[in-house]
């Protein structure tokens, strides 16, 4: 469990979302969403399909415009100071977004140069992360186009942590990963949070969220419907899927 | 099998264009083909009329003409077969379906036959009609000619199928070696340019000297007559269809069916082989030391990766860019010859400075048409748009680098073109400078409008390029019209050209200002694919 589980009240949140509104044309997806995520916390953000999880993440990482509200990452406003805000996080999408025309090594070099990673850190972090995720370093010499979906996802995971960001945002990160990689990823997320960093994850895998996360928010109708502190209410871990169904009116 | 056939047609012709775009591109395609056929028949009839009195000359010339079309159609068949048999996604989709190899191959062969028949009919039947009319042939002749494409199919497709696997292996090999791919594209484009210049030369002789017979001396006609003996398989088919010599039928059938059977065996083997090949190719690359670079360098390297490893980009843009000076030299020289000789010279003199205006116009059109292969700034990113939006690099810097690379490459090619034209005395130094200046302005406006279109892509729909296409042709026309109008006022040619430059700069400035003021908004509204 998080080393700082009871100290959230005294900490400055690393992710703050205030009154977030986002619509696609006339369709309002986010209707005043509020959320705070703290350092040292593994935070789960769940909801049914098409409810706005990815839209929220896209707004947080600055990939989508939003109508109103504020989002800050380690105190940097994503609208007012986008470059500083973007330097704070590492992001992994549900579908790997790496350049197929590059080799794995070239992709990691590109990421390292963008985030100004030193030569020593690059080699150390790359080797460490590749070993953890069982990504064969020989494969890094091949073009990404020839990688399997799982290998691409592993490469994106390595890329997202290469520069040691203080916030790690993962949108459905387990899609396409084998069981061993999923287990390793779970351990890595836990360790990352235990080192005082923030992990923000969305997943359809209720089991993963209920076992792993410190707190979990369920989104419905464009807002956070419920927010559970699973460390304070350990029973919630066992009944999270029931709570999930209840929110969407699917309870038996 | 019918379903497989329909699927192949959809894969080849179905695209993401909207209905209106499809109609417009359909109209343009029809116009292009009609124009091509009209020119083809016109040339064929003109030549045939000239040489009809010489014994065997008509048939010999028809044989040569048909041989040329057969070569082109066979090359077309080869590339169609490659796309059809070795489409990785298609192979993957079919690999887990309850469809046998025989059904797949038969459907593909049927597709190839239909395409071959349609193409042959489109390009060869008009020649038969022209020939038949001149030789007063009976209606039966025109009916029989409908079977000519069927007869050519076996030989033409046999050759295409024989070569398709080596071609696939070759393209696969060169795609892994950037410089080799680049060199092959260069050789191909230069070769085509030289062939093009040769054809252009003949055309100019026809137009400028108005003397067709100078091209067809008794000696060259004798050469044609002798050549037809070696023009296999067309000489056999001409014997069968035009001279009604049934004795040619058996050897032709044996040879063509033999080649087809051989080609089909190779294609079946290759298809089975490729279906089982794993897409993963391990390269034993030694780990090289990482060198930290600046953000700008990293972005430039990324752009070059996207550009350089894209075969379409290399063949359609980079290759043409390198060949641009050569192409421009041939075309400008030829155009100057046409405008400076025969009766056209008289009409050309009615507009003072016309030759100079046309030379600049050619350079503008070449520049902008070649650059159309390099303006997919955002489309090229596909799923990685999200990376563009999440990396901590100002959007302006990212977009600037995206536009600056093709702009820089095109500008270098323009400078070389101008130098070549000046050093070969095709145009004066002053004209070369003006041509460069106007072309750079056009290039800049065109690229900015293309960027606008790219940034306006929404809801996964393909980019609408009507605005950039409009400006690509509108600005050169506006320049030419302005310069011509000004030339009648008695102003020096240099001033009229500058006048044209001024007008296109003002018109081009409008979209450029709009893009510069809205770029931030457009970039933020750009949709990242999840």
Q: What is the pLDDT along chain A (252 residues), one digit of tens a residue?
A: 444 445 565 678 999 999 999 998 888 999 999 999 999 999 999 998 888 998 999 999 988 889 999 999 999 999 999 999 999 999 999 888 888 888 899 999 999 999 999 999 999 999 999 999 999 888 898 889 889 899 999 999 999 999 999 999 999 998 888 888 999 999 999 999 999 999 999 988 888 899 999 999 999 989 999 999 999 888 888 888 888 888 888 765
User: In angstroms, rounded to a whole number, what is the distance separating the alpha carbons of residues A70 and A79?
Assistant: 8
Judge: A86–B390 Cβ closer than 8 Å, yes or no. yes
Judge: B282–A142 Cβ closer than 8 Å, yes or no. yes
Distance from first CA to last CA of chain A, Å, rounded? 32
The answer to whether the beta carbons of residues A100 and A145 sit under 8 Å apart is: yes
In this prediction the ipTM stands at 0.86
> Which chain B residues are closer than 8 Å to A115 by Cβ?
392
pLDDT score at B140: 86
Residue found by looking up tokens 């899609």 in the block: A175
CB neighbour burial string for B376-392, b if at least 16 within 10 angstroms, e if fewer: bbbebbebbbbbbbbbb
User: In angstroms, rounded to a whole number, what is the distance separating the alpha carbons of residues A189 and A214?
Assistant: 11
The number of residues in chain A equals: 252
At A73, list the tokens: 């990452």
User: In angstroms, rounded to a whole number, what is the distance separating the alpha carbons of residues A113 and A22?
Assistant: 33
Judge: A118–B392 Cβ closer than 8 Å, yes or no. no
DSSP B459-526: TTPPPP-HHHHHHHHHHHHHHHHHHHHHHTTT--HHHHHHHHHHHHHHHHHHHHHHHHHHHHHHHHHP
The answer to whether the beta carbons of residues A48 and A81 sit under 8 Å apart is: no
**DSSP tag of A126:** H
Rounded (5°) CA angle A207-A198-A157: 70
Give B364's contacts (C-beta < 8 A, 6+ positions apart).
Answer: B435, B438, B439, B442, B475, B476, B479
Q: Torsions phi, psi of A191, nearest 5?
A: -65, -40
Judge: A142–B391 Cβ closer than 8 Å, yes or no. no
Pairing status of strand A76-77 against strand A68-73: antiparallel
> Which chain B residues are closer than 8 Å to A114 by Cβ?
295, 298-299, 391-393
Q: Of B522, B485, B515, which Cα lies nearest the Cα of B500?
A: B485
Using the Cβ of A105 and the Cβ atoms of chain B, whether some distance falls under 8 Å is answered with yes
For chain B, positions 266-295, list CB contacts with chain A under 8 A: 279-295
Q: Torsions phi, psi of B469, nearest 5?
A: -65, -40
Domain ranges of chain A: 1-88+166-252, 100-164
pLDDT score at B528: 62
In which residue ranges of chain B is pLDDT below 70?
1-22, 25, 92-97, 200, 203-216, 276-288, 308-315, 459-460, 527-530
| Bridge partners for A167 per DSSP | A89, A198
The chain B residue lying nearest A114, using CA atoms, is B295
For chain B, positions 348-407, list CB contacts with chain A under 8 A: 383-384, 386-387, 389-394
Most A CBs within 10 A among B178, B284, B286, B292, hence the mutation to make, goes to: B292
Most B CBs within 10 A among A22, A63, A67, A122, hence the mutation to make, goes to: A63
The chain A residue lying nearest B278, using CA atoms, is A146
The answer to whether the beta carbons of residues B432 and B385 sit under 8 Å apart is: no
Digit-coded pLDDT (tens) for B359-411: 999 999 999 988 887 777 888 887 788 889 899 999 899 999 999 998 999 99
CA distances from A8 to A37, A41, A208, A235 (A): 9, 9, 23, 20
Judge: B305–A102 Cβ closer than 8 Å, yes or no. yes
Residue A99, min C-alpha distance to chain B (Å): 7
pLDDT score at B279: 45
The answer to whether the beta carbons of residues B386 and A97 sit under 8 Å apart is: yes
User: In angstroms, rounded to a whole number, what is the distance separating the alpha carbons of residues B34 and B40?
Assistant: 10
Using the Cβ of A131 and the Cβ atoms of chain B, whether some distance falls under 8 Å is answered with no
Judge: B390–A95 Cβ closer than 8 Å, yes or no. no
Most B CBs within 10 A among A98, A101, A146, hence the mutation to make, goes to: A101
User: In angstroms, rounded to a whole number, what is the distance separating the alpha carbons of residues B328 and B424?
Assistant: 12
Judge: A93–B310 Cβ closer than 8 Å, yes or no. no
> Which chain A residues are closer than 8 Å to B298 by Cβ?
109-110, 113-114
For chain A, positions 46-85, list CB contacts with chain B under 8 A: 54, 58, 61-65, 82-84
Fold of the A1-88+166-252 domain:
Rossmann fold (3.40.50)
Nearest to A63 among B289, B301, B390 (CB): B390
Angle, to 10 degrees, between the axis of helix B249-276 and the axis of helix B57-85? 20
Using the Cβ of A128 and the Cβ atoms of chain B, whether some distance falls under 8 Å is answered with no
Judge: B292–A117 Cβ closer than 8 Å, yes or no. yes
Using the Cβ of A98 and the Cβ atoms of chain B, whether some distance falls under 8 Å is answered with yes
User: In angstroms, rounded to a whole number, what is the distance separating the alpha carbons of residues A189 and A212?
Assistant: 9
| Bridge partners for A90 per DSSP | A168
Nearest to A122 among B290, B310, B387 (CB): B290
> Which chain A residues are closer than 8 Å to B394 by Cβ?
83
At B19, list the tokens: 């209905």
DSSP B245-297: -GGGHHHHHHHHHHHHHHHHHHHHHHHHHHHHS-S-----PPPPPP----HHH
Digit-coded pLDDT (tens) for B28-56: 777 777 877 787 777 778 777 777 777 77
Nearest to B290 among A91, A115, A119 (CB): A119
Digit-coded pLDDT (tens) for B410-430: 999 999 999 999 998 899 999
């Amino acid at each position: 469990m998080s080393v700082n589980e009871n100290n959230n009240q005294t900490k400055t949140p690393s992710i703050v979302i205030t009154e977030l509104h986002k619509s696609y044309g006339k369709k309002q997806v986010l209707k005043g969403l509020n959320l705070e995520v703290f350092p040292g916390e593994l935070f789960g953000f769940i909801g049914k399909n098409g409810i706005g999880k990815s839209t929220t993440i896209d707004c947080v990482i600055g990939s989508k415009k939003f109508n109103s509200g504020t989002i800050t990452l380690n105190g940097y406003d994503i609208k007012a100071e986008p470059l500083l805000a973007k330097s704070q996080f590492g992001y992994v999408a549900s579908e790997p977004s790496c350049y197929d025309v590059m080799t794995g090594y070239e992709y990691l070099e590109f990421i390292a140069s963008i985030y100004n990673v030193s030569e020593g850190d690059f080699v150390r972090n790359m080797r460490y992360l590749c070993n953890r995720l069982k990504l064969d370093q020989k494969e890094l010499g091949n073009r990404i186009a020839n990688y399997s979906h799982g290998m691409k996802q592993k490469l994106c995971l390595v890329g997202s942590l290469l520069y040691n960001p203080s916030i790690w945002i993962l949108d459905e990160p387990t899609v396409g990963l084998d069981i061993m990689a999923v287990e390793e990823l779970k351990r890595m997320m836990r360790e990352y949070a235990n080192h005082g960093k923030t992990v923000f994850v969305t997943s359809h895998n209720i089991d993963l969220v209920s076992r792993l996360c410190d707190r979990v928010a369920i989104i419905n109708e464009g807002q956070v419907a419920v927010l559970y502190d699973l460390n304070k209410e350990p029973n919630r871990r066992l009944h999270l899927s029931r709570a999930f169904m209840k929110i969407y009116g699917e309870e038996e | 099998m019918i379903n497989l056939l329909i699927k192949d047609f959809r894969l080849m012709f179905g695209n993401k264009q909207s209905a209106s775009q499809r109609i417009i591109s359909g109209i343009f395609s029809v116009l292009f083909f009609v124009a091509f056929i009209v020119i083809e028949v016109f040339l064929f009839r003109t030549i045939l009329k000239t040489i009809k009195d010489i014994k065997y000359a008509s048939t010999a010339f028809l044989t040569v003409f048909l041989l040329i079309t057969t070569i082109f159609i066979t090359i077309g068949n080869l590339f169609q077969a490659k796309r059809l048999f070795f489409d990785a996604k298609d192979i993957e989709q079919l690999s887990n379906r309850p469809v046998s190899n025989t059904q797949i191959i038969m459907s593909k062969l049927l597709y190839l036959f239909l395409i071959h028949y349609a193409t042959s009919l489109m390009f060869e039947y008009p020649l038969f009609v022209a020939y038949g009319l001149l030789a007063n042939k009976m209606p039966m002749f025109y009916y029989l000619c409908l079977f000519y494409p069927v007869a050519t199919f076996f030989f033409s497709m046999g050759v295409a199928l024989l070569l398709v696997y080596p071609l696939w292996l070759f393209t696969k090999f060169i795609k892994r070696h950037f410089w080799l791919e680049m060199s092959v594209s260069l050789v191909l484009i230069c070769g085509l340019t030289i062939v093009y210049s040769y054809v252009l030369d003949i055309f100019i002789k026809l137009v400028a000297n108005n003397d067709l017979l100078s091209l067809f001396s008794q000696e060259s006609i004798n050469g044609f007559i002798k050549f037809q003996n070696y023009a296999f398989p067309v000489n056999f088919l001409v014997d069968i269809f035009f001279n009604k010599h049934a004795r040619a039928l058996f050897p032709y059938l044996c040879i063509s069916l033999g080649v087809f059977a051989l080609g089909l065996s190779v294609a079946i083997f290759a298809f089975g082989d490729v279906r089982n090949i794993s897409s993963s190719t391990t390269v034993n690359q030694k780990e090289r030391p990482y060198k930290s670079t600046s953000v700008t360098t990293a972005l430039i390297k990324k752009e070059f990766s996207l550009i350089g490893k894209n075969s379409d980009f290399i063949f359609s843009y980079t290759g043409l860019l390198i060949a641009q000076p050569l192409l421009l030299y041939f075309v400008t020289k030829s155009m100057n010859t046409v405008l400076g000789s025969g009766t056209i010279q008289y009409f050309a003199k009615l507009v003072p400075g016309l030759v100079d205006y046309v030379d600049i116009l050619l350079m503008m059109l070449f520049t902008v048409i070649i650059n159309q292969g390099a303006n997919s700034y955002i489309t090229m990113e596909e799923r990685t748009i999200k990376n563009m939006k999440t990396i901590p690099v100002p959007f302006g810097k990212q977009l600037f680098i995206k536009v600056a690379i093709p702009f820089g490459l095109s500008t270098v090619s323009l400078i070389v073109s101008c130098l070549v034209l000046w050093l070969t005395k095709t145009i004066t130094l002053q004209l070369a400078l003006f041509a460069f200046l106007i072309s750079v302005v056009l290039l800049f406006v065109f690229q900015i409008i293309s960027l606008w279109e790219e940034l306006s892509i929404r809801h996964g729909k393909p980019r609408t390029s009507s605005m950039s296409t409009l400006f690509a042709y509108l600005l050169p026309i506006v320049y030419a019209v302005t310069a011509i109008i000004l030339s009648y006022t008695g102003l020096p040619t240099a001033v009229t050209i500058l006048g044209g430059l001024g007008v296109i700069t003002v018109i081009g400035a409008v979209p450029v200002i709009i893009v510069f003021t809205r770029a931030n908004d457009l970039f933020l509204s750009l949709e990242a694919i999840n």
